Amino acid sequence: MIVVKIGGAQGVNLPAVCKDISALIKEGQKVVVVHGGSAETNEISTQLGHEPRFVTAAQGGFTSRYTDRTTLEIFAMVTSGKINTILVETLQKNGVNAFGLSGVDGRTMVARRKEAIRIIENGKIRMLRDDYTGKIESVNADLLKMLLDAGYTPVVAPLAISHESDALNVDADRAAAMVAGAVQAEKLIILTNVPGLMRSFPDESTLISSVAKKDLEQALGYAEGRMKKKVLGASEALDLGVNSITFADGRVEHPIVDALSGKGTTIS
């Protein structure tokens, strides 16, 4: 079992990714796909006159999308409605019986809503209370296995449902990690628009080809921007029993073949 996470950032070669997934499935491999949608959510939010806004957490310094209810609904439209449908359609054109869902459907991913987030704004700490984001606590592995056993390839959009049954925006990298753990995947491949983790970003000659679990803390130090969450996701996936996590380039002709042959950064 392999979990493939397809980045929401621009540049990923979607037809090539779907072709590689199709080849894997024809070899008898089981695959679960998890995708993002950040870049396109920004575009469509802007077109709809609801400019995207990002906030920086007071603790840890992570940057995340500020998701009021309007943003949540745009995020659902773009990720679950557009990107998910196009991915399923493209996989179907490649002979894969893909089945799209989000974590809201059948409570596939249950998350704890962040009631209040401490953010830094103009150097000051303040609380944000109307945010619809969450941290995934459980994945309905039975549902995913039921679909897989019936011959469907699940394609998961990064929405979860809260304990109070509100739809929530969740980080897609960490969602992929949780899904990989839940379905006991051997490998998690995280496709993005860079070749992997670099010692000094964006110098590609400093690509790190492998990181041992004990060196993850150090690796987190090299990570810039969104790569930080990918490293965190990798760490969570290892803890959940996934053997290896590869950050690989999704822009190339054979993104998954390359990742499986050792290109990119493998964490194990």
The correct pick among 122, 165, 200, 205 for binding a copy of itself (CB under 8 A) is 165
Q: List CB contacts of 88: < 8 A, sequence separation 6 or more.
A: 98, 99, 100, 155
The correct pick among 8, 36, 100, 196 for binding a copy of itself (CB under 8 A) is 100
3-class secondary structure, 190: strand
The correct pick among 10, 85, 243, 261 for binding a copy of itself (CB under 8 A) is 85
Angle at which helices 84-93 and 14-26 cross, to 10°: 50
CB of 82 vs a copy of itself, minimal distance in Å: 5
Cβ atoms of residues 166 and 178 within 8 Å: no
Does the footprint of a copy of itself cover residue 183 (CB under 8 A)? no
**Candidate segments 84-92, 199-207, 213-221, 226-234, binder of a copy of itself by CB under 8 A:** 84-92
Cβ atoms of residues 113 and 168 within 8 Å: yes
CB of 67 vs a copy of itself, minimal distance in Å: 14
Residues numbered 31 to 60 that lie near a copy of itself (CB under 8 A) are 44, 47-49
Backbone phi, then psi, for 155, in 5-degree steps?
-125, 110
Task: Return d(Cα 183, Cα 77) in angstroms, integer.
Answer: 27
Nearer to a copy of itself, 49 or 202 (CB): 49
Task: Return d(Cα 148, Cα 171) in angstroms, integer.
Answer: 24
Does the footprint of a copy of itself cover residue 265 (CB under 8 A)? no
Residues in the site for a copy of itself, rule: CB under 8 A?
44, 47-49, 73, 76-82, 84-86, 88-89, 92-93, 97-102, 104-107, 143, 146-147, 150, 152, 159, 161, 164-167
